Structure 1
Amino acid sequence: MKMVFRWYGENNDTVSLDQIKQIPGTEGIVWALHDLAAGEVWPLERIQEVKEQADQYGLHIEVVESVNVHEDIKLGLPSRDQYIENYKKTIENLAQIGVKVICYNFMPVFDWTRTDLYKPLEDGSTALFYEKSKVDQMDPYELVEKIAGSDVTMPGWEPERLKNLSALFDAYKHVTEEDLWDNLKYFLEQIIPVAEIHDIKMAIHPDDPPWPVFGLPRIMTCQENFRRLLTLVDSPSNGITLCSGSLGANPDNHIVNMINEFADRIPFAHIRNVRIYENGDFIETSHRTQDGSVDITGIVEAYHQNGFTGYARPDHGRHIWNEECRPGYGLYDRALGIMYLWGLWDAFERRKQNELAQTTTKSVSTI
Structure 2
Amino acid sequence: MNITFRWYGQGNDTVTLDHVKQIPGVKGIVWALHHKQPGEVWGEEEIKAEVEYIQSHGFHAEVVESVNVHEAIKLGNEERGQYIENYQQTIRNLSEFGVKVICYNFMPIFDWTRTDMFRPLEDGSTALFFEKAKVESLEPQELIRMVAEASDMTLPGWEPEKMIRIQELFEACKTVDEEQLWANLTFFLEEILPVAEAHGIQMAIHPDDPPWSIFGLPRIMTGAKSYEKLRAISDSPANCITMCTGSMGANPANDMAEIAKHYAGIAPFAHIRNVKIYDNGDFVETSHLTKDGSINIQGVVEELHNQGYKGYVRPDHGRHIWGEQCRPGYGMYDRALGIMYLNGLWDAYASLVKKEAEV
TM-score (norm 2): 0.99
Residues 340-351 of structure 1 aligned to structure 2 (within 5 Å): 340-351=341-352
Aligned length: 358
Contact 2:243 2:264 in 1 (8 A): no
Please state if 1:254 is matched with 2:236.
Answer: no
Correspondence for 2:10: 10
Correspondence for 1:139: 139
Residues 96-107 of structure 1 aligned to structure 2 (within 5 Å): 96-107=96-107
- CA shift, 1:263, in A, is 2.1
Question: SS at 1:24's partner residue?
Answer: coil
- CA shift, 1:160, in A, is 0.8
Contact 2:257 2:297 in 1 (8 A): no
What letter matches 2:124 in structure 1?
G
What letter matches 1:321 in structure 2?
W
Correspondence for 2:85: 85
Please state if 1:114 is matched with 2:114.
Answer: yes
Question: SS at 1:26's partner residue?
Answer: coil
Per-residue deviation, residues 268-316 of structure 1 (Å, max 9, x unmatched): 0000000000000000000000000000000000111111100000000
- CA shift, 1:345, in A, is 0.3
Contact 1:304 1:345 in 2 (8 A): yes
Q: Distance in 1 between matches of 2:236 and 2:43?
A: 27
Question: SS at 1:261's partner residue?
Answer: helix
Correspondence for 2:222: 221
Q: Distance in 2 between matches of 1:55 and 1:202?
A: 22
- CA shift, 1:255, in A, is 1.0
Q: Distance in 2 between matches of 1:339 and 1:281?
A: 28
Correspondence for 1:309: 310
Correspondence for 1:296: 297
Q: Distance in 2 between matches of 1:202 and 1:22?
A: 30
Q: Distance in 2 between matches of 1:186 and 1:200?
A: 18
- Larger mean Cα displacement after TM superposition, 136-145 or 146-155: 146-155
Please state if 1:277 is matched with 2:282.
Answer: no
Correspondence for 2:245: 244
Residues 9-88 of structure 1 aligned to structure 2 (within 5 Å): 9-88=9-88
Correspondence for 1:335: 336
Per-residue deviation, residues 149-173 of structure 1 (Å, max 9, x unmatched): 3211101001111110000000001
The unaligned stretches of length 5 or more in structure 1 are 359-367
Correspondence for 1:167: 168
What letter matches 1:265 in structure 2?
I
Contact 1:263 1:308 in 2 (8 A): yes
User: CA RMSD, aligned part only?
Assistant: 0.6
Q: Distance in 1 between matches of 2:121 and 2:238?
A: 40
- CA shift, 1:148, in A, is 2.1
What letter matches 1:237 in structure 2?
A
Q: Distance in 2 between matches of 1:354 and 1:201?
A: 36
Correspondence for 1:181: 182
Contact 1:6 1:30 in 2 (8 A): yes
Contact 2:31 2:65 in 1 (8 A): yes
- CA shift, 1:343, in A, is 0.2
Question: SS at 2:204's partner residue?
Answer: strand
The unaligned stretches of length 5 or more in structure 2 are none
Contact 2:178 2:219 in 1 (8 A): yes
Contact 1:127 1:285 in 2 (8 A): yes
What letter matches 1:341 in structure 2?
L
Residues 198-213 of structure 1 aligned to structure 2 (within 5 Å): 198-213=199-214
Q: Distance in 2 between matches of 1:290 and 1:161?
A: 38
TM-score (norm 1): 0.97
- CA shift, 1:355, in A, is 1.6
Question: SS at 2:8's partner residue?
Answer: coil
- CA shift, 1:261, in A, is 1.4
Contact 1:148 1:158 in 2 (8 A): no
Correspondence for 2:156: 155
Contact 1:203 1:240 in 2 (8 A): yes
What letter matches 1:72 in structure 2?
A
Contact 1:132 1:280 in 2 (8 A): yes
Question: SS at 1:4's partner residue?
Answer: strand
Q: Distance in 2 between matches of 1:236 and 1:212?
A: 29
Q: Distance in 2 between matches of 1:210 and 1:21?
A: 34
Q: Distance in 1 between matches of 2:137 and 2:268?
A: 37
Q: Distance in 1 between matches of 2:173 and 2:198?
A: 33
What letter matches 2:347 in structure 1?
D
Q: Distance in 2 between matches of 1:277 and 1:319?
A: 21
Q: Which has the larger radius of gyration?
A: 1
Q: Distance in 1 between matches of 2:260 and 2:236?
A: 18
What letter matches 1:313 in structure 2?
R
Q: Distance in 1 between matches of 2:24 and 2:73?
A: 40
Structure 1 residue ranges (4+ consecutive) displaced by more than 2 angstroms after TM superposition? none
Taking only the aligned residue pairs, the percentage that are identical comes to 61
Correspondence for 1:129: 129
Question: SS at 2:27's partner residue?
Answer: strand
What letter matches 1:144 in structure 2?
I
Q: Distance in 2 between matches of 1:161 and 1:2?
A: 34
